[in-house]
Structure 1
Amino acid sequence: MGVIDSHTHVIATDADRYPVDPIGGRQSTWSVEHPVDVDGLLAALDEAEIDRAVVVQASTVYGHDNRYLADSIRAHPDRLTGVFSLDALAPDAVDRINHWQDQGLSGFRLFTTGTTMPGQADWLGHEDSYPVWECAQAQDIPVCLQMTIEGIPALQRILEQFPRVKVVLDHCARPILSDGPPYAEARGLFQLAEYPGVHLKVTHRALQAAGEGASTVDDFLAALLAAYGSRRLIWGSNFPAAAGPLSGLLADARSALGGLDPADAANVFGGSVANFYALREQGPQHV
């Protein structure tokens, strides 16, 4: 199993064909200052020697207009897998899921927080979103959640209603880790491990938080492995939202996670995301 990046973005150069319409009304700074289109992403993947990437809709650029994402995936299905953005409260949300899945995309993203929308949106877990979760569970569609740790009680309510749904939390739900082991401030994150469909993206944001205060990356990683096992931990670069070359982001992650044994590392850097998105190759299955 080669390396698979679970969290990248693409920004079109043609703003007339793909107009900006960010969730929350404000475009993200990174997408203005250092955007990368699909050709740039492919070049970065080649330079970093990354086999495949999951492209997550740039919600702070295009909102729920997933056309550039779909066009990018359609042009490069051998290298890229796409996750579309969705308004979970829209009356036609299930129709939108079916539409974008038919366009070749492989899961949807719910955006409830971010640099342009700080805090935790209160609609997560609203009953009006239940048809979306029911659809995801029935069709085995992966869900990507951009949320904070404050949203965990709402997510727990959802998982009680839809226990077979598969969810991956961007940036490990942005936990507070500075108190160090046993990570009382992030207790909810570890409690989510009881739901077998919950997976975590171990990104630069999560690793940065793990090195603050009384915490170390090794301590946080040990706690994650004890709770989730490596089959539910997924590396993502967040390129190009994260500054710097993709090859550097991968090198930094490999260095930070250097304590992983080879089988666990193979899962985190490829196998787990292959399993989550049902990609053809499967990674090692080491707990």
Structure 2
Amino acid sequence: MTIVDIHPHIVSPDTDRYPITPIGGKRSDWSADHGITFDQLVAAMDAAGVDKAAIVHSSTTYGFTCDYVADAIVGHEDRFTGVFSVNVLEPDGPKWMQHWVNKGLSGMRIFARGSTIKDAWLAIDDPRIFPCYEYASEHGISMASNVTVDKFDQLENVLKRFPGMTFILDHLGKTDFTDCGNYDAARPLWDLAKYPNLYLKVATRNFEQSLDPETLFPKLVAEFGANRLAWGSNYPASEGTLPELLAKARNGLRALSDDDRDWVLGKTALTLYPALAQGEAVAS
């Protein structure tokens, strides 16, 4: 099977060519302390047995300037694509989307909040963002965001208004899965499963925080289908080597069938980022 990581990051040591301009003005600790270059990511993927990746631009390092990812993947399009960011609240958001698409990037992410921005700096259903969603819908660009469970009403508004756009929810939206077994506390997430344009990114923190992977991941598959779940390492922001993070994912998915596990670890990613699917056979 083809293993695809849809959430690694890279950082360049060349701060003259790629200035540090983090969103919100504060750089993430991981990018400053243990960021990795593109070449180091390639080496880590080779060591782990990860075949392909959609490299996510680091908003907490470079803000909306995605040049490092764009430059890094040139000549490596058989193995890599990139996920860019733009200021979606600005009127020229779609123009910048086209700019990064022209540079060879094929996915987009709205970084709403994170370790350096505790409170969301935007509402993802803000009408000012609609032109960007329309552009994504028209051009087949998967749109990822780290919107959290307390804002799922905003997410539902977007899913309903833009049914032709593929939306990827990062880190399972920080949903509460502590009531193992029935997972009633996760009802806000289950209620979104009816929207076929919603996909879930299952990241390292989800495997680390799962109290009972034997029931949680089969439940996720039962609600959404394995073909709407995709693995993202969040390497190197998540601690550990890439081989260790992949092993953690494999272990967390051990209760799934071989076919379902194949979807989560690779086949779904190839549907989300068709640029990576060249030469691949992806069954429906």
TM-score (norm 2): 0.95
Q: How does 1:227-238 map to 2 (within 5 A)?
A: 227-238=223-234
Give the aligned partner of residue 51 of structure 2.
51
Q: Given residue 276 of structure 1, which amino acid in structure 2 is its aligned partner?
A: L
Q: Cα offset for 1:183? A: 2.5
Task: Tell me, in whole angstroms, the C-alpha distance in 1 between the residues paired with 2:179 and 2:71.
Answer: 44
Task: Tell me, in whole angstroms, the C-alpha distance in 2 between the residues paired with 1:206 and 1:119.
Answer: 21
Q: How does 1:4-43 map to 2 (within 5 A)?
A: 4-43=4-43
Q: Given residue 271 of structure 2, which amino acid in structure 1 is its aligned partner?
A: N
Task: Tell me, in whole angstroms, the C-alpha distance in 1 between the residues paired with 2:31 and 2:75.
Answer: 22
The number of equivalent residue pairs is 281
Is 1:222 aligned to 2:218, yes or no? yes
Give the aligned partner of residue 92 of structure 2.
92
Preserved CA contact (<8 Å) 1:83 1:107? yes
Give the aligned partner of residue 273 of structure 1.
269
Is 1:78 aligned to 2:78, yes or no? yes
Question: For 1:247-281, what per-residue CA distance to the aligned partner results, in whole angstroms no more than 9, with x for missing partners?
Answer: 11001111111111111111111100001111222
Task: Tell me, in whole angstroms, the C-alpha distance in 1 between the residues paired with 2:136 and 2:11.
Answer: 27
Relative to structure 1, the CA distance from residue 88 to residue 282 in structure 2 (aligned partners, 3 Å threshold; closer, same or farther) is: farther
Give the aligned partner of residue 203 of structure 1.
203
SS at match of 1:225: helix
Question: For 1:123-161, what per-residue CA distance to the aligned partner results, in whole angstroms no more than 9, with x for missing partners?
Answer: 221011111111111111110112211121101111111
Give the aligned partner of residue 184 of structure 1.
184
Q: Given residue 143 of structure 1, which amino acid in structure 2 is its aligned partner?
A: M
Q: How does 1:136-175 map to 2 (within 5 A)?
A: 136-175=136-175
Q: Cα offset for 1:120? A: 3.4
Q: Cα offset for 1:184? A: 3.1
Relative to structure 1, the CA distance from residue 185 to residue 87 in structure 2 (aligned partners, 3 Å threshold; closer, same or farther) is: farther
Q: Cα offset for 1:167? A: 0.9
Question: For 1:172-208, what per-residue CA distance to the aligned partner results, in whole angstroms no more than 9, with x for missing partners?
Answer: 1121211334333322211111111111111111223
The unaligned stretches of length 5 or more in structure 2 are: none
Task: Tell me, in whole angstroms, the C-alpha distance in 1 between the residues paired with 2:97 and 2:89.
Answer: 12
**Mean alpha-carbon deviation: is it higher for 134-143 or for 180-189?**
180-189
Give the aligned partner of residue 64 of structure 2.
64
Give the aligned partner of residue 243 of structure 2.
247
SS at match of 1:7: coil
Q: Cα offset for 1:122? A: 4.0
SS at match of 1:144: strand
Give the aligned partner of residue 253 of structure 2.
257
TM-score (norm 1): 0.94
Preserved CA contact (<8 Å) 2:6 2:269? yes
Task: Tell me, in whole angstroms, the C-alpha distance in 2 between the residues paired with 1:209 and 1:119.
Answer: 22
Question: For 1:81-102, what per-residue CA distance to the aligned partner results, in whole angstroms no more than 9, with x for missing partners?
Answer: 1000121111100100111001
Preserved CA contact (<8 Å) 1:149 1:186? no
Preserved CA contact (<8 Å) 2:207 2:248? no
SS at match of 1:194: coil
Q: Given residue 238 of structure 2, which amino acid in structure 1 is its aligned partner?
A: A
SS at match of 2:215: helix
Task: Tell me, in whole angstroms, the C-alpha distance in 1 between the residues paired with 2:122 and 2:182.
Answer: 28
Relative to structure 1, the CA distance from residue 113 to residue 2 in structure 2 (aligned partners, 3 Å threshold; closer, same or farther) is: same
